[in-house]
Amino acid sequence: MARQSPQRPDADEPELDDIDAPAAADDVETDRPAADRALWDEVRIDPVEIALPAGTGFTLRAYRSARELTPTDVAERDQDDPFLARRQVVETEDDEEVVILDEEFAALSAEEDDEDAEKDGERATARREKSDAAADADTDENEDEADEDDDAAGDEEVPVFLTHKGRLLLFKTPESLVTFIRSGAPNDLSQLDSWNELSERLEPADVAPLDEDTYELDLVVENLRGGHDAWDPTLLIEAGEVARDLAYALRLPAVLDMLSAGSSLDDLDEALRASVNGGVGGFLGRRRLKKIGAQTASLGWRTIVGKISAVVDWRD
Rg (CA), the chain: 28
Tell which wins on pLDDT, 105 or 266: 266
CA angle 301, 302, 305 (to 5 degrees): 80
Contacts 24+ apart (CB under 8 A), 274-279: 275/233, 276/233, 276/234
Identify any residues that bridge with 313 across adjacent strands, giving them in sequence order: 169
pLDDT for the residue 135: 58
* pLDDT band at residue 279 under the 50/70/90 scheme: confident
Determine contact, residues 163/187, Cβ cutoff 8 Å.
yes
Tell which wins on pLDDT, 88 or 69: 69
Q: Which amino acid is at 224?
A: L
Q: What percent of the chain has pLDDT over 70?
A: 66
Alpha-carbon gap, residue 293 to 298, rounded angstroms? 9
Tell which wins on pLDDT, 148 or 282: 282
Tell which wins on pLDDT, 104 or 225: 225
Alpha-carbon gap, residue 289 to 64, rounded angstroms? 34
Which residues lie below 8 Å from residue 17, measured CB to CB, with a gap of 6+?
Answer: none
pLDDT of 75-99, one tens digit each? 999 887 655 544 444 444 444 433 3
pLDDT for the residue 301: 97
Q: Given the DSSP bridges, would you call strands 167-171 and 214-216 parallel, antiparallel or unpaired? A: unpaired
Reference 39, options 159, 198, 268, 166; nearest CA is 198
Determine contact, residues 63/159, Cβ cutoff 8 Å.
yes
Tell which wins on pLDDT, 215 or 291: 215
pLDDT for the residue 300: 97
Cα 14 to Cα 6, 9, 20, 24, 154, distances in angstroms: 16, 10, 10, 16, 67
Alpha-carbon gap, residue 75 to 276, rounded angstroms? 41
pLDDT of 110-138, one tens digit each? 444 455 445 455 555 555 665 566 656 66
- Report H helices in the chain: 16-30, 38-43, 75-80, 82-155, 174-183, 195-201, 220-225, 233-249, 253-258, 264-275, 279-290, 294-309
- Per DSSP, the residues of 127-173 read HHHHHHHHHHHHHHHHHHHHHHHHHHHHHSEEEEESEETTEEEEESS
Alpha-carbon gap, residue 189 to 137, rounded angstroms? 43
Mean pLDDT of the chain: 79
Length of the chain: 316
Cβ-count burial 22-35 (b if 16+ within 10 Å, e if not): eeeeeeeeeeeeeb
3-class secondary-structure state, position 215: strand
Among 40-49, 100-109, 255-264, 270-279, the range scoring the smallest mean pLDDT is 100-109
pLDDT of 178-236, one tens digit each? 999 999 999 999 999 999 999 999 999 999 999 999 999 999 999 999 999 999 999 99
